[in-house]
Chain A
Amino acid sequence: MLDNLNQDVSILQPSLQMTDSQVQNRIRQMKMEDPDEQTCYQKFCNLFTIEYYREYFDVTTELVIAKVVNAFNPFSGTFFDIGGGIPELYGPFWILNTLIFTIALSVNIIKYMQLQPGEHFEYQFEIVPFLAIFMYLKTLIVPMIYRVALKCVSQDRLTLLHCFTIYGYSAVVMIPISLLNSIPNPAIQWMLLVYVLFAQTSFLTSNFNQELKYLPKEKKYMIVGLVAVVQITIMILYKFYFFSSFNYQQLGLVKKRMNTHILQHILGAN
């Protein structure tokens, strides 16, 4: 077919004859698009083109909204039935970014509400890079743990990307809860934390349960237990670092003020 290229072109446009170099270019272009003919270099460089990643962003608005609404429901195990269970990365990525923004917002709101009457409000942004790194690492590593566990029980229907997708969408419950967390009452904050823990864990376990229905019981419970344990660990880290950090900082400030008073007292006495 490639040999007849010049002939075909001249039939269609008799006035247009391609030069040899143009023919060679066209042949090279057609070879690049044919996956069997690609060189090793081209196959590797595909990783850096946008077209390679487009298949993971092949979603419509209705699909994303349906998945988000499903993620709020902790008991239905139908997440992988929506849209044919095709894994995608749009949802997890943007839910993650929204979550980082929301938590930064609510930490600053909590700090603002705790202002004493004479103090000037100091916004706190140092927490944002740490928060971002924590969230991104969590979203990268935990699905890998799930995938390894699934591989151990030789369940191959759920690939790594499926794990990324479901883990990313399970974080959507945290968005409204983080906003509500800025209410100053500690009892409400603990209740919200428990609710998030419960909702996220049961969403993940009920969906994994659906996929693992035909496995023997011990293996199933192992997977489900692993999911629950990882979630609890993350939630505890979450609560004791992010939503209490300003407490520790204030303690630090109070200590500093006390030290300066003591120092002045000593110097003044001298």
Chain B
Amino acid sequence: MDYTNQKHPQNYSQMEDLKTLDLEESVSETIMRDLRMIAYKLKYVLIPKEQEDNGKELRNWDLWGPLIFCLALAMTLSFKADSTTTSSKSDVFAIIFVLIWVGAFVVTLNAQLLGGKVSFFQSVCLLGYCVFPINIEAIIIAFIGSYLPFVVKLIPVIICFAWSAYSSVGFMASLVPPHKKKLAVYPVFLFYLFLSWFSLIV
């Protein structure tokens, strides 16, 4: 494959020629390649203007991005949770982790049952990447939330929730037949609403 036209490879299948060099490159090089891939996909998913080919890039799904964002969110919220409350830090971590993966599973299953013909992991990958704005919101509230009144805290929550929902709705709506679009979109909305509310309240 010719790499001169691409800035960086977007998935592992384009890197077959590089595999012989893997053992000779430094660890930081390997990690940076993965991180660059995740960053590229993140920009693609969250900034709709980058999508020139109508979402075909999403066929190269990977679950590293969703895992990193899920762990980051769970760690942020459990860091912020007081250990004196009835729910300890480990409970919060477990709740968020299970919620994100089981929620993504259920939402994807719903889209498939409604007649969508998409690969299962593609949809889970997209839902995982769209958790990133909620991550941002959780970090904002964790660090400066205690100094702000409740109403001011609501503003970043609503903005990030709207951003997440808007990014994933475009993809989810394209999966199902036109008269079922809102039915496939509503569970996504509920999923991100629950996550946003959770990060606001903890």
Q: Is the CB of B115 within 8 A of A123?
A: no
A residues within 8 A CB of B114?
57, 90
Neighbour of B186 across the interface among A53, A57, A94, A108, CB < 8 A = A94
**Which segment of A31-39, A97-105, A185-193, A234-242 sits at the interface?**
A97-105
**CA distance in complex: A61, B177 (Å):** 11
A residues within 8 A CB of B87?
123, 125-126
Neighbour of A101 across the interface among B91, B109, B194, B201, CB < 8 A = B194
A residues within 8 A CB of B153?
none
**Chain A at the B interface: mostly helix, strand, loop or mixed?**
helix
B residues within 8 A CB of A101?
190, 193-194
Q: How many A-B residue pairs have CB under 8 A?
A: 53
Knowing A57-B114, A61-B179, say if A124 contacts B190 (CB, 8 Å): no
| A side interface size, CB within 8 A | 24
Q: Is the CB of A105 within 8 A of B197?
A: yes
Q: Is the CB of B183 within 8 A of A64?
A: yes
**CA distance in complex: A77, B19 (Å):** 68
Cβ-closest 5 pairs across A and B: A60-B179, A57-B113, A61-B182, A122-B85, A123-B201
Q: Is the CB of A98 within 8 A of B86?
A: no
| B side interface size, CB within 8 A | 25
Q: Is the CB of B112 within 8 A of A50?
A: yes
**Chain B at the A interface: mostly helix, strand, loop or mixed?**
helix
B68 interfacial contact with A, CB 8 Å: no
Q: Looking at A54, A60, A62, which has the most chain B CB atoms within 10 Å of its CB?
A: A60
Per-residue contact bits, chain B 78-98, to A (CB 8 Å; 1 contact, 0 not): 000010011100010001000
**CA distance in complex: A97, B187 (Å):** 9
B residues within 8 A CB of A58?
115
B202 interfacial contact with A, CB 8 Å: yes
Q: Which residue of B lies closest to A56 (CB)?
A: B113
Q: Is the CB of A60 within 8 A of B201?
A: no
Would you give 23 A-B contacts (Cβ < 8 Å), ordered by A? A53-B113, A57-B113, A57-B114, A59-B180, A60-B183, A61-B179, A61-B181, A62-B179, A64-B183, A90-B113, A90-B114, A94-B187, A97-B187, A97-B190, A98-B190, A120-B82, A122-B85, A123-B202, A124-B86, A125-B87, A125-B91, A126-B86, A126-B87
Per-residue contact bits, chain A 206-217, to B (CB 8 Å; 1 contact, 0 not): 000000000000
Knowing A64-B183, A125-B87, A125-B91, say if A54 contacts B115 (CB, 8 Å): yes
Per-residue contact bits, chain A 83-125, to B (CB 8 Å; 1 contact, 0 not): 0000000100010011001000100100000000000101111
